[in-house]
Amino acid sequence: MSAEDFSRKKKTIKNGTWGLIYKTSSVLIGLIVRYFFIRILDPGYLGLEGLFINVIGLFALVDMGFSTAISFNLYQPIRDNNKSLINAIVRLYRKIYLIFGLVIALLSLIATPIVPSLIRDCTVDPSRVRIAFLIYAACVAVSYLFSYKRNILFAYQRNYICLKVDTAIRLLAAVLELVSLLLFHDYIVYIVILSGSLLLQNIIISIRADRLDLYDLKDSTALPSEYTSKIKNYVKNLAVMDTAWKGIHSTDNIIISYFIGNYDLSRNANYTSIGTAVRDTVISFLGGSGAPIGDLLAEGDSRKIRKYFDRNHFIYEFAGVFCMLEFFFCINPFISFWVGDSFRFDTLTVFFIALDMFLYLSFIGISDYLNLSGCVLRYTPYSIVALIINIGVSIVFGITIGTAGVFIGTSVTYIFMLSVISILICRNVTHTSVWQYWKVFLKNVVLLSLTLVLSESMLLIIPELSNLLLTILANFVVCLMVFIIVTLLIYNKDSNYVFFKDLAKNLIRKWIGSKKAGNDIGGDGV
């Protein structure tokens, strides 16, 4: 393994480890805070945070691809250690994000009067909804003055710095949130603490980034004209795609709120918080693959690019299968234990929420190649089609069959995007047959289907348990055992599976004190 490959692998593992620590602690903290939240405040407040995030997400469309475009153009200068070019790009980054913050602040002020009208059957005082939204929006807008430095650290493969800060501040905020709920019983105080913690995270990360001497904002070197035109062209083409992508991810709660009602919005908040925590934990643990991919593409070794692509989308899909299965079988008894039976969704809705988790992780496994290779420019027209599919199918099925229909729309959209993006990447980046991608994907679908059917059959045999904790544990263990057995039958000799199995073994040996040389970890390091 070359020194460069070892450095890339080391940073990926460090990012992944801290990602796991942050997400695990966030999940546990979130469960505790939400437990008291539901029992202290009006249930109508429960879905507001998700709605606020979606509304602000729509306003963030003003980004119009600048963030991705500039990150894409940072990888080569970082690799070449071209300080002057890095400084020029970062200064442009800062100016653009200042504009974003101002625009989001203005749009939030305009939208504040109508936010309560987006909530059907609203059970809380509309004036308090407006105040809470203003507080949350203000912190998001101000955060834009600092948050661009997160992306800079990510480009340098130092995302673990952000994760350390996020973990510490999240723990502090959770304590303050619990104290405020117990003492004041007031959602406004809660949202002030939540929003303030998000702002504080970005301020501290900004300070840490400045101290690392990765860039010099005082450097007045002008951005070369070829880079200016390159970024403008990339942004112009990326704007449509980025707008459509954010539109897809900012509409579910709005559609549920407007067409179905606040009750299902509140129920969905619980499932969304758990589902998002699970999938984000997986993404963090797998190392935040974007920066290593950007570095590989800048290096230009076609063999490494193909190998990394195959392994990357395999492990995300494989993890997605496991997460979907455990989520599907465990989430409803957990919801009953955590917040009560009245907050449970029916089996069909839970299935599509779980399916969206699998498809989302599958999408993440290939999306970085789309964004960081420049291939995203070819995807632009298809992104509009994806947005239309998502909104159209979600509304039609949402009105017809309820909340499950909204998630069906998301599933259909992900399948369409996977189909198009896999073709673009295989043709233009890896230069391999698209069938190579779909063979791996369909093999994971077989794993998913067999484990789902066999787990359901096994659980039908087990007598119903009166204790919900025992039910959750039994469902988890049965699903895990079936998953392991089916995996061994299907993947025992699969090269991707063998690679990650050996990698896991080597990491475990290292963690328990093995003296094995570091360059043995991960085989050839790709």
> How much is the pLDDT for 411?
94
Closest to 293 (Cα-Cα) out of 378, 371, 369, 379: 369
Give the model's pLDDT for residue 119.
75
Q: What is the distance between the alpha carbons of residues 497 and 490, in angstroms, rounded to a whole number?
A: 10
Q: Residue 361: which residues within 8 A CB-CB, separation 6 or more?
A: 279, 282, 283, 316, 317, 319, 320, 323
At 63-91, the pLDDT tens digits run 555 666 666 678 778 878 888 888 888 88
CB 104 within 8 A of CB 62: yes
Q: What angle do CA 298, 299, 302 make, to 5 degrees?
A: 105
| Per-residue DSSP letter, 466 | S
Region 2-21: mean pLDDT is 68
| Nearest-angstrom CA–CA distance, 23 and 283 | 10
Q: What sign does the CA torsion over 180, 22, 45, 112 have?
A: positive
Residue pair 138/101 in contact by the 8 Å Cβ criterion: no
Task: Read off the pLDDT of residues 127-172 as tens digits, 9 standing for 90 and up.
Answer: 998 999 999 899 888 888 887 888 888 878 788 898 899 999 999 9
* 386-435: pLDDT as tens digits: 999 999 999 999 999 989 999 999 999 999 999 999 999 988 888 888 99
**235 in Cβ contact with 69 (< 8 Å):** yes
Per-residue model confidence as pLDDT tens digits over 87-141 = 888 888 888 888 888 888 898 899 999 888 887 666 788 899 899 999 989 988 8
The answer to whether residues 214 and 156 touch, using CB atoms and an 8 Å cutoff, is yes
Average pLDDT, the chain: 83
3-class state of residue 340 by DSSP: coil
Across 490-502, b (16+ Cβ under 10 Å) vs e yields: bbeebebbebbee
Enter the pTM of the model. Answer: 0.71
Q: What is the pLDDT of residues 429-480, one digit of tens each?
A: 888 889 999 999 999 999 999 999 999 999 988 887 778 899 999 999 999 9
For the cut 80, the answer to whether the pLDDT of residue 265 exceeds it is no
Give the separation between CA 63 and CA 65, rounded to whole angstroms. 5
Q: At what angle do helices 347-373 and 434-461 cross, to 10 degrees?
A: 160
Furthest CA-CA distance within the chain? 72
The predicted pLDDT at position 289 comes to 47
